[in-house]
Amino acid sequence: MPNQEQQTQSLPPVRLRVALHADLRRFLPQGVNGAFPVEIRTGATVSDLLEALGIPDRETITVGLNGELATRESELHDSDDITMFSPMEGG
């Protein structure tokens, strides 16, 4: 009988729409200026998405998930809309 990890791996990927703002724009894929599609494994969290995008754990970010505040532990689902911001500095 397959374990839960094997079952998760056999499921189709989750398709997301991701938008990076402020200083996080430096992590945009080359040639992308706005929101972009991402596929990630079923059961993935915001933390998994950050890793997939190459955004280090040390980055301070605010994450919106379908218009609501999310945490790094929030689970992602197909067609989710993710918006990420870094703190703004002013002077």
Query: Is residue 91 a part of any domain in this protein?
Result: no
Tell me the residue range of the domain where 47 lies.
4-85
In which element (H, E) is residue 9 found? helix 4-10
Structure confidence at residue 88 (pLDDT)? 73
Structure confidence at residue 38 (pLDDT)? 97
| Total domains, the chain | 1
Structure confidence at residue 27 (pLDDT)? 95
pTM for this prediction: 0.84
Structure confidence at residue 33 (pLDDT)? 92
Structure confidence at residue 87 (pLDDT)? 82
Query: Is residue 90 a part of any domain in this protein?
Result: no
Report residues of the chain scoring pLDDT below 70: 1-9, 89-91
Question: Residue 30 sits in a domain of what CATH number?
Answer: 3.10.20.30
Tokens 């993935």 belong to residue: 44
